[in-house]
């Protein structure tokens, strides 16, 4: 018999790690604090010492998710000298992350978050957009892209890739490959930003 010490020692990390696995296997709804405690050989009340709420645990998962996602994105943003290639690679990195950990992505962008952690969550979650915005500004200055508000354009790119990521993660891309959609999306966006939007075309109501 192995003697279990009264104190686990690294309960918080163990819970987070196991919870990460669980949500990918069974979704966020399949996550139970009591089952989690059982999985880690700890009493059902123990998790409360590290996470006030179930929601607090989920917030921690979301934060960790953003951090590891940001690492991937920042990495992809330094992957090439060609700005357009870097742009595509960032898109690929985002979508790859989404496909690898779909439940985590859902948690990250779930609306319900505790107001406390919300601040940290928000700022960490916004980093991806800032990367995109920097790339666009740089490309505009280099003359590769037409003029246009970088903040709005970055949001457009983020929004589009986010949609691709979510639908790919949810297997909602019917006839098309994930790879195809990402490449086509980034290519189309880049072409659109390169061409610019004719002023005459600025969408008016019908």
Q: Which of 17, 21, 34, 75 binds DNA (CB under 7 A)?
A: 34
Least distance between its own copies and beta carbon 106 (Å): 8
Counting contacts by CB under 7 A, is residue 32 touching DNA?
yes
Q: Which of 16, 19, 23, 33 binds DNA (CB under 7 A)?
A: 33
Least distance between DNA and beta carbon 56 (Å): 8
**C-alpha span between 80 and 117 (Å, rounded):** 35
Partner that binds at residue 94, options its own copies, DNA, none, CB closer than 5 to 8 Å by kind: none
Question: What are the DSSP calls for 139-187, one per residue?
Answer: HHHTTSS----HHHHHHHHHHHHHHHHHHHHTT---SS-HHHHHHHHHH
Counting contacts by CB under 8 A, is residue 152 touching its own copies?
yes
What is the SS3 assignment for 109? coil
Counting contacts by CB under 7 A, is residue 112 touching DNA?
no
Residue 199 phi/psi, 5-degree rounding, is -60, -35
CB proximity list for 56: less than 8 A, separation 6 or greater: 114, 117
Counting contacts by CB under 7 A, is residue 117 touching DNA?
no
Counting contacts by CB under 7 A, is residue 115 touching DNA?
no
Q: Which of 21, 100, 109, 114 binds its own copies (CB under 8 A)?
A: 109
CA distances (Å), origin 134, targets 21, 123, 150, 152, 189: 34, 16, 8, 12, 16
Residue 50 · residue 15 · CB < 8 Å: yes
Partner that binds at residue 173, options its own copies, DNA, none, CB closer than 5 to 8 Å by kind: its own copies
Give 29-33 contacts, CB < 8 A, sequence gap 24+.
31/58, 33/57
Counting contacts by CB under 7 A, is residue 18 touching DNA?
no
Size of residue set near DNA by CB under 7 A: 25
Judged by the rule CB under 7 A, the positions of this chain that interact with DNA are 4-9, 11, 31-35, 37, 42-46, 48-50, 52-55
Judged by the rule CB under 8 A, the positions of this chain that interact with its own copies are 27, 29, 79-80, 82, 84-85, 88-89, 102, 109-112, 125-126, 129, 151-153, 155-156, 158-167, 170-176, 180-181, 183-198, 201-204, 206
């Amino acid at each position: 018999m192995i003697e279990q010490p009264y104190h686990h020692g690294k309960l918080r990390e163990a819970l987070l790690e196991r919870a990460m696995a669980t949500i990918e296997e069974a979704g966020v709804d399949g996550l139970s604090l009591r089952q989690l405690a059982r999985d880690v050989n700890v009493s059902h009340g123990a998790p409360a010492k590290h996470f006030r709420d179930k929601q607090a645990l989920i917030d921690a998962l979301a934060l960790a998710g953003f951090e590891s996602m940001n690492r991937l994105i920042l990495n992809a943003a330094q992957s090439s000298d060609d700005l357009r290639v870097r742009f595509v690679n960032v898109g690929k990195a985002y979508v790859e992350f989404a496909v690898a950990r779909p439940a985590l992505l859902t948690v990250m962008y779930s609306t319900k978050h505790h107001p406390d952690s919300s601040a940290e969550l928000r700022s960490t979650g916004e980093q991806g957009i800032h990367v995109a915005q920097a790339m666009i500004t740089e490309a505009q200055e280099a003359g590769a892209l037409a003029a246009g508000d970088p903040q709005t354009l970055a949001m457009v790119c983020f929004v589009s890739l986010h949609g691709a990521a979510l639908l790919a993660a949810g297997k909602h891309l019917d006839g098309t490959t994930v790879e195809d959609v990402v490449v086509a999306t980034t290519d189309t966006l880049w072409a659109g930003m390169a061409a610019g939007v004719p002023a005459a075309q600025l969408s008016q109501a019908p």
